[in-house]
Amino acid sequence: MTSVPSNDAPALTLWPAGSVEPDQVLWSAYATEVLDHAGFSYATSTDPSALPAKGVLLLTGTADTEQAGALTSWVEAGGTLVLAAPGENLTDLAGVSPGRALGSELVECTEHWAQRPPRGIRALAGQALTPRDGTEVLATLADGSAAITRRQVGSGLVLTFGVDLWYTIARIQQGYPVTADGVPASDGTAPIDDDLLKAEDGMALDLEVDRAMPPGYPELPDDYTHTYPPPAAVPIFDQPHADWWRALLLQAIWQSAAHSATPLGWLDYWPAGLDAIAHMSHDADGNKPEDGQAALDAFAAADVKVTWHQVFPGGYGPETFAAITAAGHEHSLHYNSMADADLASWGWPQFRAQYAWAQAVSGREDIVSNKNHYTRWEGWTEFYTWCERTGVQIDSTRGPSKQGTVGFPFGTAHLSFPLAPAGNEQIFHDVLNLPLHTQDLAWAGHIAARDVILDAAQAQHGVAHFLFHGPHLNKRPLTRQACVDVANVARERGMPWWTAEEINTWERSRRGVQVQVRTLAEGWEVQVHAEQALSGAALALALPASATPVDDQVRVRTVQRHGHEFLELGVDLPAGTSSWLLRP
Ligand SMILES: [Zn+2]
């Protein structure tokens, strides 16, 4: 391992959109969030002459006629272009004719993908495409028009997303502003019209279309009522729609890199050796010491360190708080705005006061995580500004409060920084969104949801989040058993349990890592720059499987990511620049 400076351009370039009116959300900026979470390093440019001769350009803005001409020459000579979205001067290069504007509708992927959704996934905006002669269709809309296309141009390749990826992904994950109750599911499984404003009320996914029964379970009985425990398995959000769009974009980039024989490397989502992880949290609702003890016992039996959301008012008492600390659990805030106590209402003064309360009773000064009681929510992202002001760095409120919204109601098993509204000083809020997938198994969520959540989170290389409550761990033997069982099942799948704090630290550390691969006469050089040290990092490389690191301390394995195969190097990154050589 030596320190080698390099001026080589990254294989991937992002062509960003220009600015928007001050009263508009900068949706196209979400491209940077998707690339950053995926661990890609990239240059940013709108100058065709600055592009490397080969490589991948992700274009999210517009090109004038002169730029379009230069891009056409670049592609003909072997460059590869991923268009998201297709500007008017690039339609000839893409080989498509743009048509009607898309609303909320389903997209079916053709067999051209290494990993594709089992059925239609939801798009929320964009343009329908009509392919011209020689343009392949990679995804279709219900009316037969194309949603994604591919066209070979000279030695190069153009992949075109008619779907507005950035609006679709961000809107599915963040929903619409919550100002009123949402519309409940017609089958009675998701009565979200409960006179309480919560995250689900702003859901962008469709309760009637985007859910499915867990595999192997009978159709919902006609006499189903939403009671506890669930009288039957119910349809759930089984597919993380936003993650599927992320996965399709990554596959488009990898297809492009392969076409131009460009070596590509990036930092994988989790430490080397891991494909996905699990997270368990606990809401301290009721604050009864006997419930706290039951939870401590259950988590000890499960052998899981949990993120323990402490809820105002009251608190367990000093012995229980000390026992939670001693067991290695993470003290977190469970912000209460249910109007059941003097400070328990929605607003910055109350949030601030409850944060201070949680610091005082738990003995932990630097609380970094939160989940809102009952998944309460109002507005769009104002809540995140309160988190920023107190030091809450990761929030897991966005999830289900009803049996029929269990699974992926916000379409994701991945961490993300939320897009800020128009006029905000920063484009993103400095608070990680950690999705929640079900509350108490065998009580608030049917046990059938467990493996559906684990399967999808693992397939997308994300985190599966299971929440429990002390009173149910105390009084419901099936829920307590489900807690221990899910802990074991996830570990057997190779998914370790991390606290929100551990997840937050990992994700923020990996965002400071840049990975680049250079082709040398004798093989390849992988150069990595890390802002801070990161142990056990996984460098994912699109190189021949025979590539072998010269340093025999490096742990090597082959991994599948979104259907594609890569070489993974397990390395400890020091702060600063390091490099590794590989021989063919
Ligand atoms: Zn609660």
> How confident is the model over 233-282, as pLDDT tens digits?
999 999 999 999 999 999 999 999 999 999 999 999 999 999 999 999 99
Distances (CA, A) of 563 to 232, 244, 367, 559: 34, 12, 38, 9
How far apart are the CA of 406 and the centre of ligand 1, in A?
Answer: 16
Partners of residue 43 on adjacent β-strands: 13
How far apart are the CA of 373 and the centre of ligand 1, in A?
Answer: 4
How far apart are the CA of 466 and the centre of ligand 1, in A?
Answer: 14
How far apart are the CA of 310 and the centre of ligand 1, in A?
Answer: 9
How far apart are the CA of 443 and the centre of ligand 1, in A?
Answer: 14
Q: Which residues contact 189 (CB under 8 A, 6 or more apart)?
A: 220, 224, 226, 234, 235, 402, 403, 404
What is the rounded CA–CA span in Å between residue 107 and residue 431? 31
pLDDT at 444: 97
What is the rounded CA–CA span in Å between residue 436 and residue 375? 10
pLDDT at 526 over 60: yes
pLDDT at 552: 87
How far apart are the CA of 241 and the centre of ligand 1, in A?
Answer: 27
What's 147's DSSP letter? E
What is the rounded CA–CA span in Å between residue 406 and residue 387? 25
How far apart are the CA of 456 and the centre of ligand 1, in A?
Answer: 26
pLDDT at 476 over 90: yes
How far apart are the CA of 339 and the centre of ligand 1, in A?
Answer: 13
How far apart are the CA of 474 and the centre of ligand 1, in A?
Answer: 15
Going by their DSSP bridges, the two strands 56-59 and 12-15 should be labelled as parallel
pLDDT at 4 over 70: no
pLDDT at 569 over 80: yes
Q: What are the E-state strand segments in 334-462? A: 369-370, 394-395, 432-433
pLDDT tens by residue, 328-349: 999 999 999 999 999 999 999 9
pLDDT tens by residue, 98-147: 999 999 999 999 999 999 999 999 999 999 999 999 999 999 999 999 99
How far apart are the CA of 231 and the centre of ligand 1, in A?
Answer: 23
pLDDT at 10: 83
86 or 500, which is more confident: 500
Query: Are 106 and 209 a contacting pair, CB within 8 Å?
Result: yes
What is the rounded CA–CA span in Å between residue 192 and residue 409? 12
How far apart are the CA of 207 and the centre of ligand 1, in A?
Answer: 24
Query: Are 6 and 528 a contacting pair, CB within 8 Å?
Result: no
How far apart are the CA of 538 and the centre of ligand 1, in A?
Answer: 36
What is the rounded CA–CA span in Å between residue 543 and residue 262? 9
How far apart are the CA of 402 and the centre of ligand 1, in A?
Answer: 13
What is the rounded CA–CA span in Å between residue 108 and residue 60? 22
Q: How many CB atoms lie within 10 A of CB 287?
A: 18
How far apart are the CA of 336 and the centre of ligand 1, in A?
Answer: 7
What is the rounded CA–CA span in Å between residue 401 and residue 115? 31
How far apart are the CA of 388 and the centre of ligand 1, in A?
Answer: 22
pLDDT at 87: 84
- Please provide residue 357's backbone torsions phi and psi, each rounded to the nearest 5 degrees: -60, -45
Q: Which two tokens stand for residue 238?
A: 């089984």
Q: What is the DSSP string of 326-356?
A: HTTPEEEE----SSSSTT-SSSHHHHHHHHH
pLDDT at 8: 65
Residue 405: which of 175, 76, 217, 77 has the closest Cα? 175
Could you identify the residue written with the tokens 């990154």?
573
pLDDT at 21: 85
Mean of the per-residue pLDDT values for the chain? 96
pLDDT tens by residue, 273-296: 999 999 999 999 999 999 999 999
pLDDT at 7 over 60: no
Residue 281: which of 310, 252, 242, 253 has the closest Cα? 310
Q: Which two tokens stand for residue 487?
A: 């802990």
Partners of residue 178 on adjacent β-strands: 379
Going by their DSSP bridges, the two strands 121-123 and 105-109 should be labelled as antiparallel
Q: Which residues contact 462 (CB under 8 A, 6 or more apart)?
A: 240, 243, 269, 276, 412, 413, 414, 415
Query: What average pLDDT does the segment 562-567 reach?
Result: 96
C-alpha torsion 462→505→491→460, nearest 10: 10
Q: Which two tokens stand for residue 568?
A: 């993974």
pLDDT at 367 over 70: yes
pLDDT at 25 over 90: yes
For the domain made up of 12-171+243-266, the CATH class stated in words is alpha beta
How far apart are the CA of 535 and the centre of ligand 1, in A?
Answer: 35
How far apart are the CA of 471 and the centre of ligand 1, in A?
Answer: 11
Query: What average pLDDT does the segment 505-522 reach?
Result: 96
How far apart are the CA of 418 and the centre of ligand 1, in A?
Answer: 23
How far apart are the CA of 362 and the centre of ligand 1, in A?
Answer: 17
- R_g over Cα of the chain: 24
Could you identify the residue written with the tokens 């606990």?
282
How far apart are the CA of 372 and the centre of ligand 1, in A?
Answer: 7
Instruction: Kindly list the domain boundaries of the chain, sorted by start residue.
Output: 12-171+243-266, 270-507, 513-583
Residue 406: which of 138, 253, 207, 158 has the closest Cα? 207
How far apart are the CA of 371 and the centre of ligand 1, in A?
Answer: 8
Give the containing element (helix H, strand E) for 166: helix 165-174
What is the rounded CA–CA span in Å between residue 307 and residue 332? 6
pLDDT at 2: 33
CATH fold for the domain made of 270-507: TIM Barrel (3.20.20)
pLDDT tens by residue, 163-183: 999 999 999 999 999 999 999
Identity of the residue numbered 444: A
Q: Which residues contact 230 (CB under 8 A, 6 or more apart)?
A: 403, 445, 446
Residue 126: which of 13, 12, 40, 27 has the closest Cα? 27
Q: Which residues contact 70 (CB under 8 A, 6 or more apart)?
A: 48, 49
How far apart are the CA of 337 and the centre of ligand 1, in A?
Answer: 10
- pLDDT > 90 in the chain, percent: 94
Distances (CA, A) of 472 to 441, 478, 556: 10, 9, 44
pLDDT at 545 over 90: no
Partners of residue 497 on adjacent β-strands: 278
How far apart are the CA of 344 and the centre of ligand 1, in A?
Answer: 12
